């Protein structure tokens, strides 16, 4: 039994209201089915039906936790999520596997790099992208108890040992207090952000890293505060530049009438090169060292273009 399954079972023992579902993806659920009996449902490769059934189960007072690869869950079943779970405002938990770079060598069909953009377009949908397994486990009980739908980027990567404060929705963890650069990020890229911080600081660029414990709701206060404090704010994410963290941070600042220099490190206008994770990071420029180099050139290349009158 893995830690994720343990948390689900612990919740089940306390509340008796979980139904764990999958569209024939048992990567995270190898051992739990016998413990759940009829409260485990494998619908086969039928994401729409799974989300529809989850809606009906939620209407009867259950907390359905549904599993599928992130692309098929958020795209194939999107209208069911938006129209049934979303309009119904039901506490269905949507767990997407191999989101972002974690699809590795599967290719563009499996690359969920617009998932955050489309999920956050649904009113009241929460988004949780844990940086490692420990963080996923720390957040899961709160996510399961939240009376709202949630989208989770499943991430069982080994612990970074960085995060140990109690989990709270809409909170963040700031590592370091540098005033030159703030790197705001979520998910497993936190690890690369921390490497980039070390690299930048070895060159005299004082850096802080803001890790968002939930992307929605976002810790507005910390986002604004770091953008106001630091010379340059960089958003780092394995997601298309459109609609993801860069957009969320930009919207947050604009809506609060804050002007700041904010630059994105994200995927632009194309899907990423399919390969094993480390090779993807190198090819796409997302290793800690490459992130540091990209941030350095953002600082060096910055020229104020005079506005012609």
Partner 1 sequence: MTTQRQLELEDLALKVREHILSLSTDGGCFTGASLSCADLLVYLYTEFLRVSPQTTQDPLRDYLLLSKGHDVPALYGVFAELGFIEKSRLQNHLKTHDSIYWHPNRNVNGVEFHSGSLGHLLSVGMGIAYDCKLRNTDNRVVVIVGDGELNEGSIWEALLVASAQHLNNLIVIVDRNEFQANFATEELIPLEPLAPKFEAFGCHVLRPDGHDFHAFDMAFKSLDEKENDKPIGIIADTVRGKGIPSIERRADRWVCNFTKNEIHQLHQELQGHAIADLESEALIVR
Judged by beta carbon, residue 78 or residue 167, the one nearer partner 1 is 78
Nearest in space to 122 (alpha carbons), one of 159, 94, 149: 149
Structure token digits, residue 15: 């509340």
Judged by beta carbon, residue 121 or residue 285, the one nearer partner 1 is 121
| Burial grade of 309 (CB within 10 A; 0-12, 13-18, 19 or more) | exposed
Q: At residue 118, what are phi and psi to the nearest 5 degrees?
A: -80, -35
Nearest in space to 181 (alpha carbons), one of 296, 277, 76: 296
The distance of closest approach from Cβ of residue 110 to partner 1 in the complex, given in angstroms and rounded to an integer, is 21
Instruction: Note the residues at the interface with partner 1 (CB under 8 A).
Output: 19, 38-39, 41, 43-44, 46, 48-62, 64, 79-80, 83-84, 87-88
The distance of closest approach from Cβ of residue 27 to partner 1 in the complex, given in angstroms and rounded to an integer, is 21
The distance of closest approach from Cβ of residue 60 to partner 1 in the complex, given in angstroms and rounded to an integer, is 4
Nearest in space to 125 (alpha carbons), one of 151, 147, 100, 146: 151
The distance of closest approach from Cβ of residue 19 to partner 1 in the complex, given in angstroms and rounded to an integer, is 8
Judged by beta carbon, residue 37 or residue 166, the one nearer partner 1 is 37
Nearest in space to 291 (alpha carbons), one of 231, 227, 247, 235: 235
Judged by beta carbon, residue 55 or residue 172, the one nearer partner 1 is 55
Judged by beta carbon, residue 36 or residue 146, the one nearer partner 1 is 36
Nearest in space to 243 (alpha carbons), one of 149, 124, 150, 114: 114
The distance of closest approach from Cβ of residue 49 to partner 1 in the complex, given in angstroms and rounded to an integer, is 4
Across-strand partners of 127? 151, 216
Judged by beta carbon, residue 52 or residue 244, the one nearer partner 1 is 52
Q: How many Å apart are CA 5 and CA 222, to the nearest integer?
A: 32
| Number of Cβ atoms within 10 Å of the Cβ of 284 | 16
């Amino acid at each position: 039994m893995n830690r994720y399954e343990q948390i689900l079972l612990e919740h089940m023992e306390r509340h008796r209201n979980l139904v764990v579902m999958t569209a024939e993806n048992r990567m995270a659920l190898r051992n739990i089915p016998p413990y759940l009996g009829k409260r485990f449902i494998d619908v086969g490769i039928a994401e729409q039906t799974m989300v529809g059934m989850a809606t009906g189960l939620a209407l009867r007072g259950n907390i359905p936790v549904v599993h599928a690869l992130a692309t098929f869950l958020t795209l194939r079943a999107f209208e069911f999520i938006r129209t049934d779970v979303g309009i119904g405002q039901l506490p269905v938990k949507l767990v997407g596997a191999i989101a972002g770079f974690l699809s590795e060598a599967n290719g563009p069909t499996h690359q969920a790099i617009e998932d955050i953009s489309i999920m956050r377009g649904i009113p009241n949908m929460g988004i949780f992208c844990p940086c490692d397994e420990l963080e996923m486990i720390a957040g899961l009980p709160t996510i399961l108890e939240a009376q709202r739908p949630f989208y989770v980027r499943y991430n069982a990567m080994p612990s970074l040992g960085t995060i140990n404060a109690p989990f709270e929705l809409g909170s963040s963890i700031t590592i370091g207090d540098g005033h030159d650069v703030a790197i705001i990020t979520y998910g497993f890229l936190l690890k690369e952000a921390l490497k980039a911080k070390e690299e930048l600081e070895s060159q005299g660029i004082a850096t802080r890293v803001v890790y968002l414990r939930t992307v929605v709701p976002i810790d507005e206060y910390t986002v604004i505060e770091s953008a106001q404090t630091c010379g340059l704010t960089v958003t780092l994410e394995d997601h298309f530049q459109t609609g993801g963290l860069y957009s969320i941070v930009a919207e947050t600042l604009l809506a609060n009438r804050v002007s700041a220099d904010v630059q994105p490190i994200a995927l632009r206008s194309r899907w990423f090169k399919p390969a094993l994770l480390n090779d993807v990071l190198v090819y796409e420029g997302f290793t800690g060292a490459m992130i540091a180099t990209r941030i350095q050139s953002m600082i060096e290349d910055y020229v104020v273009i005079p506005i012609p009158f």
